[in-house]
Chains A and B, each alone.
Chain A
């Protein structure tokens, strides 16, 4: 059995049939990371304790204890999620290194389900970026073409799954940071509704937009991980306290109403990408769904709204990195103020500084009403437009990204060109709704992702539609060429 191309079901079947042990699987995964990852840079650190965890899994399996949902499944976590006792960098130098003093709820739930965390993946610094080029440590390369970016900010997690270096990975999505790299790397990336997955232990970027979600090779695996990590958490006041609904992935899509919002296919979207996605939409018609033309006029303002709200919230959330309680602390000045200003000057990369300053601007006296408060008003209208459209349709179908993966270095000089990568993904974060990216084809031998969005709390409709598409197509089974 090819140990680098397993789904969760394959892992469980392999253990049940005693084809391999958890230690053998973990050894294979860690070995692959050692030999293959230098070409991609997906991992920042491999987790030494993974072998211990694998031994514990084997002990349980040999004692015939019932297998938990992710028993012995190798998973990778984006390096902005805390795991007690282990280093966390957030892709930045300002943390110092930092040793986590508690474990993020989502990560704890993976461990409680039996998952083996094999390592911490690369990201744009503090999750700010769409290419993983803003990492203070290393770039990550797209396994479909190593001259191209993997997308961001969860580029490391996307590549880890795409290259078989982990079966599952966790990422975080504030403006598309799970969905866009999933699209660039030909894997599934799922962002649940805001409030479905606890943000406790996730490094805060924009607290009204951040969500944790899974990367996987299949919708089925993404749904399994989603069910493990999602649900009420007393540590996060913004989580929905009601019980998580069941998801029937086998539900047929006959009769499903799929909205095609015109604003997501026009200006700024590569016509070749739009064409691939419209062909994918026709697959849904063959399955009995109905395509409905819709319009979301204020979604055109989504990017501007996002690039006011995000920097504003980030400037507040990143104020804590001040050289006082942990991390980098530059003491070469004479005053306390110097500690703050020198630490932050030395510890933050350029994109982080840019966004903090933008946020400071948008919140400053004389500008706050025209920028920050106006953005909040527009956000309310965007939310309302999505709410209304879901009276007429069950899900929306769009491209995930305006383009396929672009070359490393192509967008680093002009920040605005990088921000445009988020054009089609930010509306779902602004509207708090669930959204998934699934493989749908190729342009110039680079993957194209299809995005499905649903009403808030309706992860079921999104996952069901995505699963139906994967039963009818095989884009998601394509694997990139990977050096052995």
Chain B
């Protein structure tokens, strides 16, 4: 299934990456080859495989505990307002 030429721009927007023109050009040459390679999977025969029964961790009681990490985390905020991360307006 070929990738449309403007696909790189659309994908970059979806992925929240502002690609430079040269990057976009390089990727639009490289990515279709990868897509073609992985696209071979469409020829693969598959059948329904039942879900594996795997042991997993039991749930813990729904109780809060203080991890005391807030300061360490806030200290790395690119921009902060007291105990909050400060960001540009969503609107």
- Which residues of A are at the interface with B, using a C-beta cutoff of 8 A? 98-99, 101-102, 195, 232-234, 236-242, 298, 301, 304-305, 307-308, 315, 319, 322-327, 329, 331, 335-342, 344-345, 348, 350, 353-354, 356-358, 360-362, 364, 367, 370-371, 374-375, 377-378, 380-381, 383-384, 414-416, 419
Decide if B44 touches A308 in the complex (CB within 8 Å).
no
Decide if A367 touches B17 in the complex (CB within 8 Å).
no
Q: Does B65 contact A (CB under 8 A)?
A: no
Residues of B within 8 A of A374 (CB): 41-42, 44, 46
Residues of A within 8 A of B1 (CB): 367, 370
Residues of B within 8 A of A304 (CB): 37-41
Q: Mark B27-40, 1 if CB is under 8 A from A, else 0.
A: 10011011101111
Given known contacts A233-B57, A370-B39, what 20 new A-B pairs fall within 8 Å (CB)? A241-B58, A304-B40, A308-B38, A329-B78, A338-B18, A339-B87, A348-B17, A353-B23, A353-B27, A357-B11, A357-B12, A357-B15, A361-B7, A370-B1, A371-B38, A374-B46, A377-B49, A378-B46, A380-B46, A419-B37
Taking the closest CB of chain A, its distance from the CB of B38, in whole angstroms, is 4
Residues of B within 8 A of A383 (CB): 49, 52
Residue of A nearest to B75 (CB): A99
Residues of B within 8 A of A362 (CB): 38
Residue of A nearest to B54 (CB): A195
Given A326-B73, A341-B18, A361-B11 in contact, is the A308-B79 Cβ separation under 8 Å?
A: no
Of A232, A238, A325, A375, which contacts B41 at CB under 8 A?
A375
Decide if A336 touches B17 in the complex (CB within 8 Å).
no
Decide if B49 touches A354 in the complex (CB within 8 Å).
no
Taken together as a complex, chains A and B put the C-alpha atoms of A234 and B88 apart, in Å, by: 37
Of A241, A298, A337, which contacts B56 at CB under 8 A?
A241
Taking the closest CB of chain A, its distance from the CB of B91, in whole angstroms, is 9
Given A307-B34, A322-B16, A356-B17 in contact, is the A240-B55 Cβ separation under 8 Å?
A: yes
Decide if A381 touches B47 in the complex (CB within 8 Å).
yes
Taken together as a complex, chains A and B put the C-alpha atoms of A340 and B90 apart, in Å, by: 12
Decide if A341 touches B16 in the complex (CB within 8 Å).
yes
Decide if B46 touches A101 in the complex (CB within 8 Å).
no
Total A-B Cβ pairs within 8 A:
166
Residue of A nearest to B46 (CB): A377
Q: Does B64 contact A (CB under 8 A)?
A: no
Decide if A371 touches B41 in the complex (CB within 8 Å).
yes
Q: Does B83 contact A (CB under 8 A)?
A: no
Decide if B78 touches A323 in the complex (CB within 8 Å).
yes
Decide if B17 touches A364 in the complex (CB within 8 Å).
no
Taken together as a complex, chains A and B put the C-alpha atoms of A350 and B17 apart, in Å, by: 11
Residue of A nearest to B91 (CB): A336
Residue of A nearest to B90 (CB): A336
Of B48, B54, B69, B89, which contacts A336 at CB under 8 A?
B89
Residues of B within 8 A of A357 (CB): 8, 11-12, 15, 17, 27, 31
Taken together as a complex, chains A and B put the C-alpha atoms of A240 and B54 apart, in Å, by: 8
| Most B-side CB within 10 Å, residue of A234, A360, A362, A364 | A360
Taking the closest CB of chain B, its distance from the CB of A482, in whole angstroms, is 37
Decide if B27 touches A354 in the complex (CB within 8 Å).
yes
Residues of A within 8 A of B79 (CB): 329, 331
Residues of B within 8 A of A339 (CB): 87-88
Taken together as a complex, chains A and B put the C-alpha atoms of A367 and B30 apart, in Å, by: 19
Taken together as a complex, chains A and B put the C-alpha atoms of A381 and B38 apart, in Å, by: 16
Decide if B18 touches A344 in the complex (CB within 8 Å).
yes
Taken together as a complex, chains A and B put the C-alpha atoms of A328 and B33 apart, in Å, by: 32
Taken together as a complex, chains A and B put the C-alpha atoms of A304 and B40 apart, in Å, by: 7
Taking the closest CB of chain A, its distance from the CB of B66, in whole angstroms, is 14
Residues of A within 8 A of B52 (CB): 383
Of A238, A341, A370, which contacts B42 at CB under 8 A?
A370
Taking the closest CB of chain B, its distance from the CB of A449, in whole angstroms, is 25
Residues of A within 8 A of B11 (CB): 357, 360-361, 364
Given A360-B11, A415-B34 in contact, is the A381-B46 Cβ separation under 8 Å?
A: yes
Taken together as a complex, chains A and B put the C-alpha atoms of A384 and B52 apart, in Å, by: 10
Residues of A within 8 A of B90 (CB): 336
Decide if A326 touches B77 in the complex (CB within 8 Å).
yes
Residues of B within 8 A of A384 (CB): 49
Given A241-B56, A341-B17 in contact, is the A378-B41 Cβ separation under 8 Å?
A: yes
A-B contact pairs, 5 of them (CB 8 A): A232-B57, A335-B88, A374-B42, A374-B44, A416-B34
